[in-house]
A and B are shown apart, each in its own frame.
Chain A
């Protein structure tokens, strides 16, 4: 997309590189139950970012010694497909993918009522089909939809979005270019109905005041995504009930 190393102008006449307003989300698409073999699945798109999540379980744990006597083990794997980035990504799990798997698992764990299923495993697979910034937050959003589709009891759905600072302006749902050349990137995931934040990272520099504004902006975006999640779930099951 962008040739050369020079930083492009990220805000022109108050509009961003893709023509959005600073507090505008990319076009979002959510679809539930897209895979037949998985117990639950979901496809989520934030603009060009496209993420597929599949959930298996609760099922018996293999190997057995991993099982916990009082609750389910939650295993999460985040993966970027070879063709998801602009340059071919090696299919071997990178340091980044292993770390994001853990971060996403910890973002979902507070929502899952794992104590209902002792000695079982809930496996979550997140595959990034196309990466254009915000893949971890799209992954969290997709995974929580897939968990709900699998029928696993959840305290709430988890939705995530990243806020960035580009050319000194706080912007919602940053894409790849804004992430690359921006001053800060802050992914946030939350359970809006319960008012709990489950993921909060910050890469770059924000003043305390900017941080507060960025968090408010992220929660505003999460609320919108959360409503879309609920609508996607209802849409799926109202259509199956009519069959």
Chain B
């Protein structure tokens, strides 16, 4: 790769299809690979792919991403989640709608979704698809509820052993708590600007 990064703008000619396979940030027009976004060209000589690394990446969740969201509705088999961002310190300008199905809620069998999440919970989940509504999964230990309120008195629940307990009214609530429950530190990829 060249030392001086080469900036391209939409429609800039990159190569012909036979030289490099078009990858992200590019498109093919009449056999010619062209740039679709403003960014830096990356020619991968090993896999023979050409891509454009955007100067300002779009902030849209895609399959495999970790997101946080607030549960806005719960039914027996499905919960609706307002997906706020990749972490709570750096939210999207506009939230996306996500769905958590009972089959994706936990590694173990659950009777109904109320054992997993409740209205108003903040959850961390993995995105499974690339379109709206986003399908979410909380199957891994790091996914699940990261902040929950007592359904009786509204206090923030604390994790004791594997249960969530209200420090005020001492009621015990069923949730699929993440191992990061109440550990609301910024994620390792840190804050993005703007």
A residues sitting closer than 8 Å to B (CB atoms) are 36, 39, 56, 58-60, 67, 111, 113, 117-120, 148-157, 191, 193-194, 229-230, 233-234, 237-238, 240-241
Determine the chain B residues whose CB is within 8 A of the CB of A113 once the complex forms. 27, 36
> Closest chain B residue to A67 by CB distance?
B132
Chain A residue numbers with a CB within 8 Å of B94 are 56, 59-60
Query: Quick check: A151 and B93 within 8 Å, CB to CB?
Result: no
Q: In the complex, A153 Cα to B5 Cα: how many Å?
A: 20
In the complex, what's the smallest C-beta–C-beta distance from B42 to chain A, in angstroms? Answer: 15
Q: Is B154 an interface residue when CB atoms closer than 8 A count as contact?
A: no
Residue in contact with A155 in the complex, picked from B5, B36, B60, CB distance below 8 Å: B36
Contact across chains for B37 and A118 when beta carbons are under 8 A apart: no
Give Cα A229 to B97, complex, Å. 36
Q: CB distance B93 to A39 under 8 Å?
A: yes
User: In the bound complex, what is the Cα–Cα distance between A233 and B57 (angstroms)?
Assistant: 15
| Contact, CB under 8 Å: B10 / A234 | no
Chain B interface secondary structure, helix, strand, loop or mixed? loop
Query: Which of A67, A152, A155 lies in contact with B11, CB distance below 8 A?
Result: A155
Q: List 21 A-B contacts (CB under 8 A).
A: A56-B93, A59-B93, A59-B94, A60-B96, A60-B97, A117-B60, A118-B131, A148-B37, A148-B38, A149-B38, A150-B58, A151-B37, A151-B38, A151-B58, A152-B58, A155-B29, A155-B36, A193-B13, A237-B38, A237-B55, A241-B55
Q: How far is the CB of B50 from chain A (nearest CB, A)?
A: 15
Are the C-beta atoms of A234 and B9 separated by less than 8 Å? yes
**A-B pairs with lowest CB-CB distance, top 10:** A153-B36, A156-B11, A193-B11, A154-B10, A119-B132, A59-B94, A237-B55, A151-B56, A151-B58, A230-B9
A194 touches B58 (CB 8 A): no
Complex Cα spacing A230 to B38, Å: 10
Residues of A close to B96: CB separation below 8 A = 60
Question: Roughly how many angstroms separate A239 CA and B56 CA in the complex, as a whole number?
Answer: 13
Which residues of B sit under 8 angstroms from A152, Cβ to Cβ?
Answer: 37, 58
Report B-chain residues with C-beta under 8 Å of the C-beta of A240: 55
Contact partner of A118 (CB less than 8 A), chosen from B25, B27, B58, B132, is B132
Of the listed residues B25, B38, B56, the one surrounded by the most CB atoms of chain A closer than 10 A to its CB is B38
B95 an interface residue at 8 Å Cβ cutoff?
Answer: yes
Known: A56-B94, A60-B96; 6 extra A-B contacts, CB below 8 A, are A148-B9, A151-B54, A151-B55, A152-B58, A193-B13, A237-B38
- The verdict on A148 contacting B10 (CB below 8 Å), with A60-B96, A153-B37, A233-B38 known, is yes
- The listed residue with most A CB atoms (<10 A of its CB), out of B9, B54, B56, B96, is B9
Q: Return B30 CB to nearest CB of chain A, in Å.
A: 9
Chain A nearest CB: distance from B104 CB in Å? Answer: 20
Contact yes or no, B7 A238, CB < 8 A: yes
Chain B residues, CB < 8 A from A36: 194
B130-171 to A contact mask, C-beta < 8 Å, 1/0: 011000000000000000000000000000000000000000
Q: Which A residues touch B95, using CB under 8 A?
A: 60
Chain B neighbourhood of A67, CB < 8 A? 132
Given A58-B58, A117-B60, A234-B7: A154 touches B36 (CB 8 Å cut-off): yes
Chain A residues closer than 8 Å to B131, beta-carbon distance: 118-119
Chain B residue with the shortest CB-CB distance to A57: B94
- In the complex, A151→B97 CA distance in Å? 22
Bound Cα distance A156, B12 (Å): 8
Contacts of B7 in A (CB 8 A): 234, 237-238, 241
Chain B 20-62 interface mask (CB, 8 Å, partner A; 1/0): 0000010101000010111000000000000000111110100
Shortest CB–CB separation between residue B97 and chain A, in angstroms?
Answer: 6
Contacts of A154 in B (CB 8 A): 10-11, 36-37
Taken together as a complex, chains A and B put the C-alpha atoms of A58 and B93 apart, in Å, by 11
CA distance A81 to B58 in the complex (A): 30
